[in-house]
Structure 1
Amino acid sequence: MKTEKKMPSANRQQLIITKLKEANEPISGSDFAKETNVSRQVIVQDVSILKAKNEPIIATSQGYLYLKDDKNDSLEQKVIACKHGAKQTLDELYLIVDHGVTIKDVKVEHAVYGDLTASIMVSNRREADQFIEKINTAGASYLSSLTDGIHLHTLESDSTDKIEAACADLKKAGILI
């Protein structure tokens, strides 16, 4: 069996930046690892180095994204406060994305660490399902479990009306604070 040579770190990091800049969807660390013949952990380290060099890369539940300035200029954003139990999480995500709204992140205020923010970048039901599946597969807890269900989301859409409609549905469901 022939083993392929590992890609040198400088080449790997350049490949990561190039592919992320060209991508319209997140790229997983596992995909980068396969392409460069290294472990996923090596890719995680490469991304950390790139972030330290001020490359605007974020990790989402679907993979890595390169933040492009031009995309966000025309989009509306709103931060909302929610409260619900773990079992209502998928309902919450569906209520939002069904209006054409992206859930950029989730944030909680921790007593010791202060604000804890996680990028989730969920824009449709498929991504919502994948997010929940990753939580379940990993046996992970939701950040909101640290704050008795209270959390913030940054919502993003091309229309304020879409965000407001999502908020109205969240309020009807008893989720919006």
Structure 2
Amino acid sequence: MHAQDRRQAILDTLRRSGGPVSASALAEQFSVSRQIIVGDIALLRAAGAEISATPRGYVILPATTGLTRQVACQHDAAGMEAELNTMVDNGCTVVDVIVEHPVYGQLTGPLQLSNRYDVAQFLSRCAQSEARPLSALTEGIHLHTLSCSDEAAFNRVREALRALGVLLED
């Protein structure tokens, strides 16, 4: 298969998938190395493809429906699970996490967590890799972009985060 054909096939695979597809799975599917897939994804992005790398693999993000809002939070690493579960339990998808780095400026980590299973998988990968969350760079202060079905869902999340003691407010 020629490189251009493989890149088109990668796009087709991502469009048909019901969720993220890892570089390793794509490499196996197309009988190439993982590094070839990473390069293909970079070329597809440079050509304008809206491919996002999440902790679980590559996705073509669907157009967001409903509301997109942000919340500011602060907690230590031990509070991450409760915070994420609170957001998904109240009907919102956690799109990403954002921190302000003193040298690099805004750093964004895509998450795409919609339910407790997604949260558990994310936390498991964090534990297995011994990776620290981005918020560790900013004394626990961070933003989350949320995709919510309506304003009521967003308000539920804010109230639940406030009750949890992690909502950062004026």
TM range (shorter): over 0.9
**1:64-113: per-residue Cα shift (whole Å, max 9, x none)?**
11133xx32x3211111000000110111100101121000000000000
Displacement of 1:153 in angstroms is 0.3
Check the 8 A contact 1:62/1:127 in 2, yes or no. no
Displacement of 1:162 in angstroms is 1.0
Distance 2:78 2:56 in 1: 21
Runs of 4+ in 1 over 4 A off after TM superposition: none
Give 2:53's aligned residue: 59
Distance 1:67 1:130 in 2: 19
What do you get for the CA RMSD once the two structures are aligned?
1.2
Residue segments in structure 2 that go unaligned for 5+ positions in a row = none
Give 2:101's aligned residue: 110
Displacement of 1:126 in angstroms is 0.6
Given candidates 139, 148, 157, the residue that maps to 2:130 is: 139
Residue segments in structure 1 that go unaligned for 5+ positions in a row = 1-6
Q: Partner of 1:26: helix, strand, or coil?
A: coil
Given candidates 22, 29, 34, the residue that maps to 1:35 is: 29
Distance 1:96 1:144 in 2: 17
Map 1:75-90 → 2, pairs under 5 A: 75-90=66-81
Distance 1:133 1:95 in 2: 18
- Equivalenced residue count is 168
Distance 1:124 1:41 in 2: 30
Percent of paired sites with the same residue: 38
**1:18-76: per-residue Cα shift (whole Å, max 9, x none)?**
111222311111211110111222211111111111110001112111133xx32x321
Q: Partner of 2:72: helix, strand, or coil?
A: strand
Give 1:15's aligned residue: 9
